Amino acid sequence: MMSGWSVIRIATILVYLFLFAPVAVVILLAFNANQFGSFPIEGFSFRWFEALWNNDAIVRAFKTSLLLGVLTAAISTTLGTLAALAMVRYDFPGKRTISTLLVAPILIPEVVLAVALLLFLQFLSMPKSFGLLLMGHVVFTLPFVVLVVQARLVSIRRDVEEAAMSLGATPVQTFFEVTLPLMLPAVMAGMLFAFTISFDDITGTLFWKPGGVETVPTQIFAMLRNSISPEINALGAVMVIFTIALPLVAASIARVMAMRKVGASK
């Protein structure tokens, strides 16, 4: 019996290695001093990061991704949070249909979604633009925000709001003074989700992006197709560090804020 469990443990370690080793190699090679940026490792160097910093195309792609991610997160979290509130707090006819409709963008393959939106807007004589990119990203991040916020919203107790109301707060006051602060972690989680999905997306983005505009993933894709340049690993490392550090920093900020709140109420 013990040996069976050991086998499972070893297999688990191997699967985790399989998941992370290739990404670890990307980060390792990003710091490699070798002039081709490949094996063998010849020492530690920041040269590829310097090359990134001096590469205008990459810096531009990074700015585009950042702007797109922030705008997508803001819009989609606003829409998604309102929808999640409706789904958790109210009962109304047709709720099941609406629930399916809200997650529809996940159920449809992204390629199909990308084609439909692109062709429809082309038909309306709207050319490919940053706006199209933004619309596309909002549509397919929306269901994730709804699901994430909904899942966390369920645990907020209504008594607190009812208490505020019975003490004379108006519904609007209650929302801003009680509900919103309680919802904030859920909203932040949804926002992070939307940002990361937008920041990492490539499938839809390749369809929607206007010529000459690149996001970081499409820039990496273009670099892969032209010639494997050693800067790719550095760019990959920056992306990984960025998307992993962001949720961790956000989580610790949330923890500090929660601690302070507990401290204040004592």
Partner 1 sequence: MAADVAGARRTPWVLLSPSLATISLLLIVPMLFIVVYSFWLRTATGADQVGFYLDNWIEVLGDRFYRDILFQTLLIAFYTTVICAFVGYIPAYFVANTRMKSKAFLLLLLMLPFWISYIIRTMSWINILGTSGALNTLLISIGIIDDPIQMLYNQQTVVLGLVHYLLPFMILNVYVSLDGIDKNLTEAAQSLGCTGFQAFREVTLPLSMPGLAAGSLLCFVLAAGTYITPIVLGGPRDAMFANLVFEAIVTQLNWPLGSALSLVLLALLGALVVIYTRYLGIDQIAKSFK
**Alpha carbon distance, N-terminus to C-terminus of the chain:** 50
**112 vs 167, beta carbon nearer partner 1:** 112
Is 226 a residue that touches partner 1 (CB under 8 A)?
no
CA distance linking residue 236 with residue 179, whole number of Å: 39
With contacts defined by CB under 8 A, name the span among 55-63, 92-100, 160-168, 256-264 that binds partner 1: 92-100
Number of residues interacting with partner 1: please give it, by CB under 8 A: 88
66 binds partner 1 (CB under 8 A): no
Member of 129, 156, 243, 254 binding partner 1 (CB under 8 A): 243
Q: Which of residues 150-179 bind partner 1 (CB under 8 A)?
A: 151
Q: Choose one: 51-59, 75-83, 173-181, 252-260; the region binding partner 1 (CB under 8 A).
A: 75-83
Kindly write out the interface string for residues 193-222 of this chain, putting x where it contacts partner 1 by CB under 8 A and - elsewhere: ---x--xx-xx--xx--------xx--xx-
Distance CA 87, CA 146 (A): 9
Q: Which residue blocks in 40-179 are alpha helix, DSSP H?
A: 47-53, 56-89, 95-107, 110-123, 130-153, 158-166, 171-174
Q: How many CA atoms lie within 13 A of 206 on its CB side?
A: 12
Give the span between the Cα atoms of 122 and 213, in whole angstroms. 18
Contacts of 208 (CB under 8 A, 6+ apart): 114, 117, 118, 128, 132, 133, 136
Interface with partner 1, residue 111, by CB under 8 A:
yes
> How far is 73 from 198, CA to CA, in rounded Å?
8
Q: Select from 57, 59, 67, 116 the one that contacts partner 1 (CB under 8 A).
A: 116
Q: Is 19 in the site for partner 1 (CB under 8 A)?
A: yes
Q: Which of 57, 59, 67, 82 is the binder for partner 1 (CB under 8 A)?
A: 82
Specify the stretch interacting with partner 1 by CB under 8 A; choose among 66-74, 141-149, 180-188, 256-264.
Answer: 141-149
DSSP state, 14?
Answer: H
**Could you say whether residue 57 binds partner 1 (CB under 8 A)?**
no
Q: How far is the CB of 49 from partner 1 (least distance, A)?
A: 16
Task: Report which of 5, 119, 137 is spatially closest to residue 80, judged by C-alpha positions.
Answer: 137
